[in-house]
Amino acid sequence: MARLSGMIDFRRLEFGSPFRVVFFQSRADWPQHFFTASMKSFASLFAVSLLGLGLSAPLTAQCLFGGAQRIDATVGGFGGLLENGDRFGRSVVGIGDLDGDGVLDVAVGARSDDDGGTDCGAVWILFMNPDKTVRDEAKISNLFGNLPPGLVGAGDWFGYTLALVGDMDGDGMPTLAVGAPNDDDGAGNAGAVYLFELTPAGSVASTVKISNAGNLPGSLSVGDSFGMGMGFLGDLDGDGQPELGVAAPLADNGGTNRGRLHLLSLAADGTVAQERRIAQGVGGFTGVFDNNDQFGGRAVCALGDVNGDGTIDLAAGTFRDDDGGPDRGAFYVLFLNSSLNVIGHQKISNNEGGLVGPLEDGDLFGMTLAPLGDINYDGVPDVAVGNNLDDVGLVDAGSMFLLSLTPQGTVLTEVRIDRNNFPGLNLPGGDRFGRAMGVVGDMNGDGSLTLGVGAGAGQGGGAIYLITLDACGCITTRHCSPPAANSVSAGGAIFGVIGTGSIIQDAIVLGTNDLPTGQFALFFMGSGVQAVAVGNGVLCPGAPLLRLLPALPTGSVGGVGRVFHPSSLGLQPGETRVFQCWYRDPAAGGAMFNFSDAVEVRFCR
């Protein structure tokens, strides 16, 4: 069990399980609703101020106590028929509130369902209850859901991937994209993608097919497996036509099975208005793959604007990458320009990009990806990454990573979610948790995020988990900002928090920098916000006020830090407190004391 000593590895502090920390890069990067701290200034600050604090509990910036609901043939309310080997859970994606009952619904692929022929595949539409169990289901296959007769062939693996495209033509009916990577249009296993407009009952209202047979400007070759990876990207170039990212991971661009990514601009009727390709030496990409890296993996996703240049950036997997050992896996952050050409990239693997891991041989890290938005509120989007053959706890039980990124696309912090550290995630060996991932949304209506995660590869017909990352508030609001200027900084003294308000975690780190050197400072807290002018600054927390003794020397770096344990005061989930720092500043004159800005923390379980 490591303790805080010497220089701190801010990416991951080992306390027997991974956890997250919150950072911020500069004042310009601070969101108005959230406070973060400069890695550079806090690194020097905490290297001095936190020596010997001896934290005994992990800190986490995204609460991981929301729980998990498994759905399979016998668990979670599912009433459909699954047979051994159906591979239910090969893909999963949220589809919004399809039936209008106020609860978000889910689509799940079963790529080896045998309706109409061996391994034709199917898609299940799951109508959900508020508790994340299944209320009802509908099936889309050769035999159900109003598919055109004989649309799907034997061995097509229809449902291998899924992406919600949304309402393309403004009629209120969403479109679901479905991959069939072994479709034989024009060439064996060239692949295809279907666009289905869905009815509220979960059946198909209309169909558009994208393949060698039509509606694809370029051509596909034998074995490309177009549609084996997929993700809806939104309108990347601002032309009013959304993009669908489709991977052909077995394409031979640059070498055998090195893979290729297609960016398809979709017209309102589902036809492809424009196609752009990204591969080794194509589309501005300058990276070099090895044979069988399978660029595009099983998913591609739009992350958001990672590097702050105003253009949405992408992530795409190479899950057979051999950095550090065979098939450990990797993924790439792709920086795009407005023409959707790649202008830079960052690889994240066992050897590159700041990932701590560790990864092991055969983990297949990067097989699946899901965008998380900005879960640590530092202004940079984050990503979930599947690691589905991870042996944590049991062989091939699987895991997934939640990665917070820097503007350069490297890993800032990471959390591994597995059977050992997430309530309700009792994964058996061979479950391959993380083999599919998709964002479902806020199913609780409380700001939490639910992800659908595929599993059950070795368990009967397959399974999914709906896992909720609790939005337990954690660090919620910054107040009395900007703070009053002091003798060393026109921007005043800046308050920061590392960790969350989790009562279970029971440790947050309070810190303030840009303080006068050689003086003393004192943390205190109160209830609510009063914002009253006092001394040279503004007293922010409301009464009753509680000093967090002792006062601390600001030293030569002009900063202080300390650990606060909410259990020490009997704080309960749902309570909030506002934290601030008082400090001496004789050189400023006047009252010769001042205040930092303040951070409100909402405590949770």
- Domain presence at residue 58: no
Name residues whose C-beta falls within 8 Å of residue 40's C-beta, 6 or more positions apart in sequence.
none
Domain boundary at 419, 435, 469, which? Answer: 469
Domain boundary at 443, 469, 495, which? Answer: 469
What local confidence, expressed as pLDDT, does residue 355 receive? 93
Look-up: residue for tokens 């308050």?
A: 495
313 and 186 in a common domain:
yes
What local confidence, expressed as pLDDT, does residue 195 receive? 98
**Rounded-to-integer distance, Cα 244 and Cα 162, Å:** 11
Structure tokens at 67: 């729980």
- Give the H/E segment covering residue 47: helix 39-49
587 and 511 in a common domain:
yes
- The CATH number of whichever domain residue 260 belongs to comes to 2.130.10.130
274 and 374 in a common domain:
yes
Domain count of the fold of the chain:
2
- Domain presence at residue 282: yes
User: DSSP character for 312?
Assistant: -
234 and 280 in a common domain:
yes
- pTM of this prediction? 0.74
Low-confidence spans in the chain with pLDDT less than 70: 1-66, 376-378, 423, 446-447, 458, 470-476, 499-500, 504-505, 604-605
> ∠ CA(133), CA(139), CA(140), 5° rounding?
140
346 and 431 in a common domain:
yes
- The CATH number of whichever domain residue 569 belongs to comes to 2.60.40.10
What local confidence, expressed as pLDDT, does residue 458 receive? 64
523 and 481 in a common domain:
yes
pLDDT tens figures, 392-448? 889 999 999 999 899 999 998 788 888 887 767 888 899 999 999 999 998 877 667
Q: Are 532 and 545 in contact (CB under 8 A)?
A: no
What local confidence, expressed as pLDDT, does residue 8 receive? 21
Q: Are strands 134-140 and 122-128 parallel, antiparallel or unpaired?
A: antiparallel
pLDDT tens figures, 156-174? 999 999 999 999 989 999 9
- Domain presence at residue 203: no
320 and 263 in a common domain:
yes
323 and 445 in a common domain:
yes
- Domain presence at residue 40: no
- Domain presence at residue 155: no
Taking the chain, what is the end-to-end CA distance rounded to the nearest angstrom? 24
Domain boundary at 469, 490, 506, which? Answer: 469
**Rounded-to-integer distance, Cα 24 and Cα 494, Å:** 11
Torsion of CA 498, 501, 507, 508, to 10 degrees: 30
- Domain presence at residue 571: yes
What local confidence, expressed as pLDDT, does residue 377 receive? 60
219 and 358 in a common domain:
yes
- Domain ranges, residue 436: 164-193+210-469
What local confidence, expressed as pLDDT, does residue 44 receive? 29
- Domain presence at residue 129: no
What local confidence, expressed as pLDDT, does residue 469 receive? 79
- Give the H/E segment covering residue 46: helix 39-49
Structure tokens at 579: 């934290």
What local confidence, expressed as pLDDT, does residue 499 receive? 66
Closest CA to 206 of 270, 137, 123: 270
- Domain presence at residue 387: yes
Q: Is 171 exposed, middle or buried (0-12, 13-18, 19+ CB in 10 A)?
A: exposed
479 and 465 in a common domain:
no
534 and 408 in a common domain:
no
Give SS3 for 48: helix
303 and 324 in a common domain:
yes
